Amino acid sequence: MARRIDVKNLDIYYGGFHAVEDVSMTVEPRTVTAFIGPSGCGKSTLLRTLNRMHEVIPGAHVKGNVQLDGTDLYGQGVDPVAVRRVVGMVFQRPNPFPSMSIFDNVASGLRLNGVKNKGVLTDAVERSLMAANLWIEVKDRLGKAGIGLSGGQQQRLCIARAIAVEPQVLLMDEPCSALDPISTLAIEDLIGELKEKYTVVIVTHNMQQAARVSDQTAFFNLAAQGKPGKLIEIGPTEKIFSNPDQQATEDYITGRFG
Amino acid sequence: MAVTDTDATERVEPEPLAAQDPSLSPVVDHGAVTTHSPVPKVVAHRAPETPADHVEREAARGVKLAKISRTGDRIFRSLATTSGLLIVLLVLFVGIFLLALALPSLQADQDSFLTSRNWTVSGNELRFGIAGLFWTTVLSAVLAMAMAVPVAVGVALCMTQYLHKRVSGPVSFVVDLLAAVPSIIFGLWGLTVLGPFLAPAAAWLISKLGWIPFFERNVDPKGSVFVASVVLAIMILPIVIAISRDVFAQTPRDHIEAALALGATRWEVIRTAVLPHGRSGVISASMLGLGRALGETIAVMIILTTPSAGSPFSPSIFAGGETFASKIANNAAEFDSPSKTGAYIAAGLVLFVVTFAVNAIARIIAERGVES
Amino acid sequence: MSASTADTPLAFRRPSGVRTIKNSLATIFVTVATLITIIPLAWVLTTVIIKGYRLLLSSTWWLESQRGITPRREGGGAYHAIVGTVEMALICAAIAVPLGVLGAIFLIEYGRGTKIARGVSFMVDILSGIPSIVAALFIYALFITIFGLGRSAIAVSCALVLLMLPVVLRSTEEMLKLVPDSLREASYALGVSKWKTIVKVVVPTAFGGIVTGVMLGLARVMGETAPLLILVSYAVGINFSPTTDTMGALPTMINAGRDQPPQMPGYERVWAAALTLIMIVMLLNVLARLIARFTTLKEK
């Protein structure tokens, strides 16, 4: 159930402040796209517009549109809550719900959206934890608190929670930056498996990670000091990292700035 | 960051599939495709980026976005907002009602309300004034504050600068328990235990300073303003300690370390870094303690000897008296006529205004201190 | 500095005499202050325990009321007063807790930063400064003078609401602030609506602290005497109905007998009632803090 994302001439504003300028891109289904670029150039901002999470900040709005297989997520009368049931997100710091057990955490998306059948929930939890490569480690302690796990395990728990609701797209906002190298590798392997079912977009500060996991890479930068962020170049990962078209991209890849 | 969610407008069905952008070419799968509109089957020529999908039987065109019911959100939001507004109304009503009911009695008052010491409220002629009440209330509260603040500052310094964290925890607990003791018990204890205990000290003060009207002997010391002030001081200690402790704990570490690096003793560090930073916080805490002492009812009611009608006024701390609060409480059984009740409500109104003013000043001082 | 300082050993001298004396004086002052704070609590508690414990040991105390007992006679118990105190506090909580929790939810989840929220917060500050006698007078003015209802235990509970509400609201507010925004975001990202996020994620996470605030509020209102004096008459017998004009309560039981000379049996009953009240209040406080200790949100 993976979908294709089309972003068309998207401008992002926080109140009067123009944060990101005129982005257009396409993400094919069942691929991994990485957003890279220096801090503050709009990668996370853009990611959040893909599931309308930016709207939790008062005054944030967009111009242009984002389409999921043709359906405009910003269309007339489209409820952001509905969009988020279809586009899932994993955050930088693992954030399992502290008042819930492991089972309840993974099931929370389904439960809060009305699913009550115990059998359905149990199947979904098992399926998601297996898909997140966490099942073996926790299957005997599903009733224990979610926050009792290690950092890497918690992040995989959050991934399981996100995919339990069977989203079409999975957004990941620097999912490994708070984790140790071994957990990071585990999650990168997981991303490789996830892309068989989902369309994945990942924001990362780590260029090597982008090179390892993604099929397509988008490089963002500020147009100039004080200007909005821009999409400088987007293309297949191999090309971006070996033979980019833009000089700015090459400078960033080779470490001349950022 | 304020985390809010935008309100969606109405719930609407997602756009019918036929209206979608035809430039998107779907990937065709070779099973039953359930579409709702006549979409021309187009074979897409695209370099496969991913392995062939073999289980996707869903419609590949467009996503079905769920209909979200927003009633839950609307109801809950109005519940929360209504609660907030109810609270505002409640406070406004307190002021308004008290004023409304006090006015008739105030207008019928033959004496000057602010300067008279009489209190005749039964019968046809109303003669009442709050001068006596004002004096006793302010005297006992200010005395209490004068006694409590130095002690409270000392304890707060002890807890933040002297004691190890493990010891300051239990001390904090004791202070909280002190705050939990009901005021009637303080009143009872003050009258029966502390009063007699302080009698020798009172006698000594009177013998040395009794020639000053402020200290002249008047009633049995256990019913005097002196004892009441001591008990009030004990009662307001916890609040002054709690706020002072928080303020001292937030002294920037750099200031403390700068003083230490100059070879200052612990007292000198406190004098140069902690106290200056905490000054406005301590003043604010003291005023809050003052407000609490001004409004304390039962302990004062039990301890203070009510002066008999017609007895001469004495400014001494060893006299009895009544505060705004204790006068109202002492006569609680006698609110039988509206004019009489109105007089007491007028006294209550003054108390409300005074405590409000004191608390407001405390808050302003605290905020100014935070800004600087 | 002469060149020879490199050869002579460093002498770490204590600061000058005056400075050391001042430092010691400060330490003494601070210690005395702490003792002055601890001693009254110990003194009050000891006094109440010693003077009041004996009657609490018999079951009569807990099961009987004071009906038919005069100050000269022994006997009777505090059942009516305990029940009355608890009943009025619970009725108060039934109003103050929902109002306080919803008010805090408004301030933190819906109104953060808005002018309305600042106004509400300001009013809550005023409310927390209102003396109990003024709250009681307001309810008197409202219920009895204007509406013409008589005195009743419900009136007392309403006055107590004015006193419990700020406690519950402020502590709930603090707890809600402690819930990190990342949890709210995680819930929104799952496509959960705002009200469900608050009810099923935020409040359960803050629940321990909210319970603590409620218990502390209960402990406070159980000890309040002023509303009892003004709004209801003290009953010596058992009366559970909150709408009639009499009800027993521990503070008024103490107040009714406070002038007893020590020889009378009534004297000891006053202290026993005081001990009962302190025990209930302290129990609530200790429980509240234990709950707080075991459920604090741990910062990562």
Cα angle B317, B322, B327; round to 5: 170
Under a CB-based contact definition with an 8 Å cutoff, are residues B67 and B16 in contact? no
Tens digit of each residue's pLDDT (9 = 90 or more) over A157-176? 999 999 999 998 999 999 99
pLDDT value, residue A56: 87
Phi/psi of residue B129, nearest 5 degrees: -155, 160
pLDDT digits (tens, 9 = 90+) for C163-209: 999 999 999 999 999 999 999 999 999 999 999 999 999 999 999 88
Same domain, B256 and B320: yes
pLDDT at C273: 92
B47 to chain C, closest Cα gap in Å? 33
Mean pLDDT of B127-137: 86
User: Which pLDDT value is given to residue C56?
Assistant: 85
Residue showing tokens 């939001």: B77
pLDDT digits (tens, 9 = 90+) for A97-118: 988 999 999 999 999 888 889 9
DSSP state of A235: E
Question: In the predicted model, what is the mean pLDDT of residues B116-127?
Answer: 76
Residue B68 in tokens: 């979200």
Residue C67 clears pLDDT 60, i.e. is over it: yes
List the 160-199 stretch of B: residues with Cβ below 8 A of C: 162, 171, 173-178, 180-189, 191, 193
Is the pLDDT score of B8 beyond 60?
Answer: no
Does residue A162 sit at the C interface (CB-CB below 8 Å)?
A: yes
User: Same domain, yes or no, for B133 and B260?
Assistant: yes
By Cβ distance, the residue of B1, B2, B20 closest to A70 is B20
For chain A, first and last CA: distance in Å?
36
DSSP state of B194: I
Domain range for A61 is: 5-253
Residue B372 banded pLDDT, cuts 50, 70, 90: low
Percent above pLDDT 70 for chain B? 82
Read off the pLDDT band of B369 (50, 70, 90): confident
- Tell me whether residue A77 is in a domain: yes
| Each residue's pLDDT tens digit, A223-235 | 787 789 999 999 9
In chain C, the N- to C-terminal Cα span, in Å, equals 51
Residue B179 lies inside a defined structural domain of this protein: yes
According to DSSP, the residues that pair with A219 across neighbouring strands are: A36, A233
Residues of A in contact with C187 (CB under 8 A): 97, 108, 112
Number of Cβ within a 10 Å radius of residue B249: 14
pLDDT surpassing 70 at residue B172: yes
Chain A residues with CB under 8 Å of a chain B CB are 1, 3-4, 6, 28-31, 55-58, 67-73, 75-83, 85-86, 168, 195-196, 215
A61 has which bridge partners?
A: A13
Q: Is residue B89 part of a domain?
A: no
Q: CB-based contact (8 Å) between C185 and chain A?
A: yes
* Of A83, A84, A198, residue with least CA distance to A132: A198
CA–CA dist C41, C44 (Å, integer): 5
Residues 65-84 of B with CB under 8 A from C: 68, 70, 72-73, 75-77, 79-84
Q: Is the pLDDT of residue B46 over 80?
A: no
- Chain A CB contacts of C192 below 8 Å: 81, 109, 112-113
C189 touches chain A (CB under 8 A): yes
**pLDDT reported for residue C8:** 64
- Is residue B77 in some structural domain? no
Contacts of C196 in chain A (CB under 8 A): 112
Q: What is the pLDDT of residue B156?
A: 93
Q: Is B107 part of any domain?
A: no
Return the SS3 of B39: coil
Q: Quick check: B83 and C165 CB within 8 A?
A: no
Chains in touch with A (3+ beta-carbon pairs under 8 Å) read: B, C
Q: Which residues of A touch B60 (CB under 8 A)?
A: 69
CB contact (8 A) between residue A81 and residue C185? no
Q: Which string of b and e fits B51-72 if b means at least 16 CB within 10 Å?
A: eebeebeebbbbbebbebebee
My answer on whether B38 and B135 are in the same domain is no
Structure tokens at B232: 């009030």
Question: Hey, how many other C-beta atoms are within 10 angstroms of the C-beta on C240?
Answer: 11
Kindly report, residue by residue over A130-162, the tens digit of the pLDDT.
999 899 999 999 999 888 899 899 999 999 999
The answer to whether residue A258 sits within a structural domain is: no
Q: What is the pLDDT of residues C210-222, one digit of tens each?
A: 999 999 999 999 9
Q: How many domains, in total, are found in chain B?
A: 2
The stretches of chain B forming alpha helices (DSSP H) are 71-108, 131-157, 165-180, 183-189, 195-209, 225-249, 253-261, 266-269, 275-295, 298-303, 324-330, 338-371
Residues B238 and B170 in one domain: yes
Is some CB atom of chain C closer than 8 A to the CB atom of A53? yes
Tokens for A94?
């693992």
Q: Are B129 and B112 in contact (CB under 8 A)?
A: yes
List residues of B whose CB lies inside 8 A of any A CB.
1-6, 8-12, 14-15, 17, 20-21, 24, 26-27, 49-51, 53, 56, 58, 60-63, 65-68, 70
ipTM over 0.90: no
Contact (CB<8Å) C137/B98: yes
Q: Which of A106-110, B339-343, C69-73, C245-249 is predicted least confidently?
A: C69-73
- Tens digits of residue pLDDT in A60-79: 999 998 999 888 999 888 89
**pLDDT band, very low/low/confident/very high, at B336 (cuts 50, 70, 90):** confident
Buried-exposed string C124-154: b where 16+ CB fall within 10 A, e elsewhere? bbbbbbbbbbbbbbbbbbbbbbeeeeebbbb
> Which DSSP category does A58 fall into?
T
Q: What is the pLDDT of residue C296?
A: 64
Distance CA C262, CA C269 (A): 10
Q: CB-CB: which of B100, B154, B184 is closest to C29?
A: B154
**Gap between the Cα atoms of B170 and B174, Å rounded:** 6
Question: Domain of A48: which CATH number?
Answer: 3.40.50.300
Residue B190 lies in a domain: yes
| CATH number, residue B211 | 1.10.3720.10
Q: Which residue has the higher pLDDT, B201 or B87?
A: B87
Return the number of CB contacts < 8 Å for A and B.
Answer: 84
Question: Total domain count for chain A?
Answer: 1
Out of A116-130, B45-59, C74-88, pick the least confident. B45-59
Residues C173, B84: Cα–Cα separation, whole Å: 12
Task: Please give the Cα distance from C7 to C3 (Å, whole number).
Answer: 8
What is the residue range of B25's domain? 7-68
| DSSP type of residue B337 | S
Going by their DSSP bridges, the two strands B119-120 and A87-90 should be labelled as: unpaired
Question: In this complex, do C106 and B80 lie within 8 Å of one another by their Cβ atoms?
Answer: yes
Q: Give the gap in angstroms from C-alpha C149 to the nearest C-alpha of chain B.
A: 14
Interchain CB distance below 8 Å, A56 and B70:
no
Res B98 pLDDT > 80: yes
The pairing of beta strand A17-27 with beta strand A229-236: parallel
Distance CA B342, CA B92 (A): 19
Distance CA C30, CA C25 (A): 9
| CA quadruple B247, B252, B256, B258: dihedral sign | negative
Residue B310: pLDDT band with limits 50, 70, 90: low
Do B312 and B199 fall within a single domain? yes
Q: Is a pLDDT exceeding 50 seen at residue C300?
A: no
**B266-282 residue pLDDT tens:** 888 898 889 988 898 99
Q: Where are the alpha helices (DSSP H) in chain A?
A: 43-49, 80-86, 102-112, 118-131, 135-138, 151-164, 181-194, 207-213, 237-242, 247-253
